[in-house]
Chains A and B, each alone.
Chain A
Amino acid sequence: RKEVEQDPGPFNVPEGATVAFNCTYSNSASQSFFWYRQDCRKEPKLLMSVYSSGNEDGRFTAQLNRASQYISLLIRDSKLSDSATYLCVVTNVQRDSNYQLIWGAGTKLIIKP
């Protein structure tokens, strides 16, 4: 089992629809969680950190369920510009106190007009 798993995608969604991404992680001691987006042939950019209480930023809502060890990202009223690959990132603290970033494989989103 991969440490961080995401929906394989791609998601083909009409403009204006709501899209949900899920990400599961295997280490129950994982500490921090992020969603990044990556456009084709570009570097990843931070979309949102994910907090235990859930957080919202405009059309984007991120939630964390520690009991079930999954993170979700919801995009409402999707725009053409939302087309990208969405990456889930989990941070684990190692024994030497250094932390380890584990990246999901990403889910590609294609918004169609």
Chain B
Amino acid sequence: GAVVSQHPSRVICKSGTSVKIECRSLDFQATTMFWYRQFPKQSLMLMATSNEGSKATYEQGVEKDKFLINHASLTLSTLTVTSAHPEDSSFYICSAVTGTSPSDTQYFGPGTRLTVL
């Protein structure tokens, strides 16, 4: 199956710093990438939908100025958590799809565990 990588897998940072997470589709071109956040013992929460070359679409309640998403190519999307605070500590997961059909399979990255001290 298709492979999606994320980097870094784990990051610990001080409050107030910014953290960039990369999501790459390794063997396919991803027209759309999704960014999720998951708090312990909770389900995935979609943060934003990112299409290559256009602005990301953010879900209600997600601050676009705090969670900057860039999808510069068909194989790379980045999520930058700006001025991170302890409440931003979470498991961030990206996924990618190859097409535009609702039935397309999502391929998930392995996730990035962010801990803000």
Contact = CB atoms under 8 A, between A and B. Distances in A.
B31 to A, nearest CB: 11
Contact of B110 (A42, A49, A101): A42
27 contacts: A32-B102, A32-B103, A41-B91, A42-B110, A43-B93, A43-B110, A43-B111, A44-B44, A44-B108, A46-B105, A46-B106, A49-B103, A91-B102, A91-B103, A97-B100, A98-B49, A99-B100, A99-B102, A101-B34, A101-B46, A101-B106, A103-B43, A103-B44, A103-B45, A104-B43, A105-B43, A106-B43
B17 interface: no
Interface of B is mostly: loop
A8 B91 CA distance: 21
Interface in A42-56: 42-46, 49
A91 B97 CA distance: 13
A12 interface: no
A90 to B, nearest CB: 9
B57 interface: yes
B44 to A, nearest CB: 5
Contacts of B108: 43-45
Sorted nearest first, the 5 A-B pairs with minimum C-beta distance are A91-B102, A43-B108, A99-B102, A105-B43, A32-B103
A80 interface: no
Contacts of B44: 44, 87, 103
Interface string B80-108: 00000000000101000000111101101
Nearest to A45: B108
Contacts of B57: 98
Contacts of A32: 102-103
Nearest to B43: A105
A106 B40 CA distance: 13
B49 A105 contact: no
A18 interface: no
Nearest to B36: A103
B102 to A, nearest CB: 4
A93 interface: yes
